[in-house]
Amino acid sequence: MLDDLALFIAIVEAGSLNAAAEKEGLPTATVTRRLQKLESGLGYRLLHRSARRTMLTAEGTQYYEQCRPLVQALRQATLRLDATLGAIEGTIRVLAPVNFASEILAPAWASFLEQYPRVQLELELSNEVQDLVGSGADLAIRIGAMADSTLTQRKLGDVRLVLAASPAYLARNGTPRNVTELEGHSTIATLPLREWHVQDPSTGAHFVLHPDPRVRVNEVRLAVMMAEAGLGIVLAPELQCHASLESGALVRLLPGWTSRERSVYAVWSQQRYLPARVRALLEHLAAFTAQHPLLAGDI
């Protein structure tokens, strides 16, 4: 009804049905039909009309005088709202895993805020999968399979997993050359990696290991540090142990063997409209991860 009311105001101000139709980019028949629909809903005639000229009825005059300021106010409010939603400013709340957000994405947060100085960023970091809808957050970064069908997702990349141990540990316990030789070794497990999936490059055989870890921890960086200290073998994201492998603090085991990759997603609620500021952050993160050398796979 609001659209038809606005059209009635336009007809009065244009002076005729034809002029209003031309101004609004509508067929004259459509303008006539919508005016008739409005009058039918109200129960009285608003205009004496012909194709070339219209005149307000007494009821139409009252309706026009009362409703014209309301329509104008609504138009102005809509313009202001459009400008606000289209502006890259305001607060963005993001849920994300601790290590991934604080290490890998740290430069992306900084460069985004530098590019958009009127944005405030609230980062809530946790290794637990938090309720995105209930928290009121705009966006979440998640690693692993997405099971929640109420969320929209965009893939940002794939995280490779590597088996590694310290030189000191291997000197004491030997270096495993295949899956069988992994048995009996001390292991350090990171949640949620309760199973270790590895594939033999020579045969293509796939193995699923169920380690009985000496340590199980939900903080990847701590697990890597424990491996560096010689406490056992760890299966960890290459993103978190790349520096340790480069420095020699850890040694990659079973080179050539592959482990199942874990995908990284940006997710948001299907029930929420993405304001321009959130869309801008999403595109910024996608561009950043697409250039990251340790985020493999087709995106």
Report the candidate in 203, 202, 245, 200 with the shortest Cα–Cα distance to residue 227. 245
Q: Coil, strand or helix: which one is 91?
A: strand
Q: What percent of the chain has pLDDT over 90?
A: 33
Confidence of residue 121 (pLDDT cuts 50, 70, 90): very high
Instruction: Give the pairing type, strands 262-269 and 215-217.
Output: unpaired
Q: Residue 70: phi, psi to the nearest 5?
A: -70, -40
Question: Cα–Cα distances in Å, from 123 out to 95, 105, 133, 147, 204?
Answer: 6, 11, 16, 23, 41
Contacts of 152 (CB under 8 A, 6+ apart): 267, 268, 269, 270
Q: How far apart are CA 175 and CA 251, in angstroms?
A: 10
Query: Which pLDDT score, from 0 to 100, does residue 169 have?
Result: 96
Confidence of residue 117 (pLDDT cuts 50, 70, 90): very high
Q: Do residues 160 and 294 lie in contact, with contact meaning Cβ atoms separated by under 8 Å?
A: yes
pLDDT of 89-112, one tens digit each? Answer: 899 999 999 888 988 899 999 999
Q: Residue 176: phi, psi to the nearest 5?
A: -65, 140
Global pTM exceeds 0.85: no
Query: Which pLDDT score, from 0 to 100, does residue 299 have?
Result: 36
The encoded tokens of residue 202 equal 């020579």
Query: Which pLDDT score, from 0 to 100, does residue 50 have?
Result: 67
